[in-house]
Chains A and B, each alone.
Chain A
């Protein structure tokens, strides 16, 4: 959102990030296979920008965020924060500089703690404030997110969803971090409250000079708040671009379909022709060979797309990257697939019993 986001100082650099979760069956059995939640992601986050990560559920966007923050260890790859590998940073240092706001504000707070202790706990743990000073600081933080001083002694259940999210934001801000990961902060909120929280986020970013990574599945929110957007599909980034570029000339067929699938509250747009993708997102435990999107892609070519995996290539000077063999130019349209073309699955296994 800030105008000086064209400075190219890189705050966070992710290289070859992988996170595979093992699938086990039974008590004593070995690992059967892996869910490849994040499977090779390279990403650079510039200081002061808002990077959006979009994708459908199960595409690995939340896992990417957690690995980025060091909340769960990665399987392979590295995260560099300000040039320093986060593995070499202590947990305290890490949490002081990188913070997170979770999707469900009620679930991320202890219902038995008052707002004062929820927001003040990070300060206490880090020995930054005690006693009256702590109360003073908490009051300032609450004020900065649009809550009042008298809310300090209330408990989370006394607040509405939007207010809870404000408290979560105050807690994230308490250590004055440089970077905040926003993991679907508005998807549990109503539309009118969502608008309030989005405005607050922008205001806070301007005031504190923060860097945001905004994880969401709603493209319209991304368009409003983000400077750059990365689109993920099955653990990989398929397209990354500046917001305006992505929305004016999407190059990956998946981005096209995603944008066309969003229902919008205006009649001219509702009547436009939609690209309805057939089938479901494949399982990340058993991703398709080659390009992962080829099973649902209307322009996939046999012999190339199902064999060779396209790398993420930069296609123009603005850093518009796309991972597709046939990137679409501006103004090009996708053919509309019919439901009849869905390939039949054959899951008719014989039933067996084990005595």
Chain B
């Protein structure tokens, strides 16, 4: 068909592990048409994510056979035989050449007068470099393909991941991340302000921030400012200067006082230990013994009274009066809304870290101002400072920002002009997923791969995101490959659906075909094992189940991979892999029994129930 956007044919891949290769996909055939929402459904480990990652060129597996065509263009890359052989040879020659040059180098060191080792060394180095260059050239085609795939990703095919927080960079604002994608794909409009103006603005930014801080938090800022100016003053004039000494004297006094207290405590402790040492030791031991012996029951009984109580705000609902803790809390609540002077104490406490930091700076600078290390650190930091400032504060061009805001508006983010300046952690889960979608739609790709986009979200938020994705499809005609394990999401979103089981496609067809008339036993069992909200229907006491579990990917099957769990399995199923039968136009099912199973789903379900009862509660392979 010509209107197929993505065609995957006979894809078979494996992962190389220490325990040997694991076949992740056996035979995957998948077509996505222009503007279609195709659902890919299956249980965990069935290979649905691997399929999408292979498509977009991000998978780490080895492709054995098959093809992935995007608008007729092959996306999978395989080296030609000659290139592969060349790469192999060059790899081995390089490794041996490096070893030989190292050995000859040592020989050269041991016998400095002998010319032979010198010649050997030069020859080996030459061979190594030459073979490496040949290998590099042989990989040229591969590099070109990587470049092409980098262009395809984002521009033509893009992908949304399950967990938006791990897919977004927590260190950059939303606008920076979205504009980066657009910059890479050259989608940004021409800048309004020249770059040097924005660099200048960035360099001035720290100064404005300091002014802002001083105007908004005068108390703490004045404290910081006076400490810093004292340090500067002491450096310029020296501590011998009477003014500096006078200013520093209260600090000196306080610290000397602290030392005295410590000393007094230390000596009194020593005296006590010498005089009453054994007595103190034994009494402490005795207390421990008593606690260990009686502790557990004591804490069980009275533990509830030794719990911390939180100061509380607001009027409580009257609790039960006979509960001692509850009444206590109620009483403390009735006392008043808050502790008196709480705000003052809070503000003092807020300043303590600040005071400690400034004291630390003072002492460090007084202690080793001229040490080479510190000087080096200071000098390098000063040299790098403009760079650091520019990286952190270089703003987005107003035109580019408007572009980003426009994209955020497309994904219905409320108040986008504020959201662009936020970091991912400031957004809620649904908003993050919207930002993720915005980023992926920024370059208007023709195919969007959504890998479990709503699994991490709540149901009401999930409904919002699904609605958004459908609306985007209707507006822009983007085809979507929706990967999920939730058949409900499939029913709501998709035009067509593909069911996967243990690395192969078992059924595919339009949404009506597969959901109303499933023909593969696995799809039937899956559809019926989901508890539903049926108002009218009679509630079954037990849910219909598929007995057993998904087989280990290491297990080899000659025939159908579902046969151990299938009530219809016979000899043919064990020995021969099932063909993809076209049961209706456009509706394929991989089963030997598509004719005999027919369309009577209830019969199949009854067969499943009988089979499950025979199978036992737990099917352990």
Contact = CB atoms under 8 A, between A and B. Distances in A.
Interface string A193-230: 11110111010000000000000010111011100000
A148 B617 CA distance: 10
Contacts of A148: 618, 620
A302 B579 CA distance: 63
B530 A280 contact: no
Given A20-B312, A76-B316, A262-B488, A191 B43 contact: yes
A191 B526 contact: yes
A345 B307 contact: no
B346 interface: yes
Contacts of B489: 263
B311 interface: yes
Contacts of A194: 529
A346 interface: yes
Most buried by B among A27, A90, A224: A224
Interface in B212-248: 212-213, 216-217, 220-221, 224, 228
B311 A31 contact: yes
Contacts of A351: 209, 212
Nearest to A311: B317
Given A75-B310, A90-B301, A192-B526, A259 B533 contact: yes
Given A78-B323, A274-B463, A26 B350 contact: yes
A146 interface: yes
A247 B545 CA distance: 24
B283 interface: no
Contacts of B428: 280-281
Interface stretch (B143-151, B187-195, B535-543): B535-543
A258 interface: yes
Contacts of B549: 160, 162, 193
Contacts of B307: 73
A78 B617 contact: no
Given A77-B319, A217-B459, A195 B543 contact: yes
Given A26-B350, A263-B492, A15 B319 contact: yes
B541 A220 contact: no
Interface string A315-340: 00000000000000000000000010
Secondary structure type dominating chain B contacts: helix
Most buried by B among A160, A221, A280: A280
Contacts of A134: none
B60 interface: no
Interface residues of A, number: 89
B620 A352 contact: no
A157 interface: no
Contacts of B209: 351-353
A190 interface: yes
Interface string A225-261: 1000000000000000000000110000000011111
Contact of B533 (A15, A220, A352, A355): A220
B529 A191 contact: yes
Given A90-B301, A196-B545, A280 B491 contact: no
Interface string B480-505: 00000111111110000000000000
Given A267-B516, A350-B216, A261 B463 contact: yes
B530 A31 contact: no
A346 B416 CA distance: 10
Contact of A352 (B216, B358, B412, B511): B216
A1 B326 contact: no
B318 A267 contact: no
Contacts of B544: 195
B206 to A, nearest CB: 8
B325 interface: yes
Contact of A264 (B210, B467, B491): B491
B415 A40 contact: no
A82 to B, nearest CB: 16
Nearest to A351: B209
B530 A261 contact: no
A269 interface: yes
Interface string B524-565: 011101111111000101111111011000000000000000
Nearest to A39: B317
A265 B330 contact: no
Interface in B349-381: 349-350, 352-354, 358
B464 interface: yes
Interface string B371-413: 0000000000000000000000000000000000000000010
Contacts of A127: none
A87 B221 CA distance: 49
B323 A85 contact: yes
Contacts of A346: 415, 418
Contact of B546 (A27, A88, A147, A192): A192
Contact of A202 (B345, B490, B526, B541): B541
Given A15-B320, A78-B326, A266 B463 contact: no
B103 interface: no
A265 B484 CA distance: 13
B596 interface: no
Contacts of B93: none
A73 B304 contact: yes
A148 B539 CA distance: 31
Nearest to B305: A87
B86 interface: no
Interface string A156-178: 00001011001000000000000
A353 B213 contact: yes
Contact of A147 (B430, B462, B618): B618
B213 A87 contact: no
A344 interface: yes
B511 A263 contact: no
Contacts of A57: 458
8 contacts: A192-B525, A192-B526, A224-B543, A263-B492, A276-B463, A346-B415, A353-B209, A355-B228
Given A264-B491, A355-B228, 15 more contacts: A15-B319, A16-B318, A27-B353, A34-B310, A77-B323, A220-B532, A224-B543, A247-B535, A259-B533, A261-B462, A263-B490, A270-B491, A339-B412, A344-B415, A352-B209
Interface of B: 43-44, 209-210, 212-213, 216-217, 220-221, 224, 228, 297, 300-301, 304, 307, 310-313, 316-320, 323, 325-326, 329-330, 342, 345-346, 349-350, 352-354, 358, 412, 414-415, 418, 421-422, 426, 428-431, 458-464, 466-467, 485-492, 511-512, 515-516, 525-527, 529-535, 539, 541-547, 549-550, 616-618, 620
Q: Which 7 A-B pairs have the closest CB atoms?
A: A263-B488, A146-B617, A265-B487, A224-B531, A195-B529, A56-B458, A261-B463
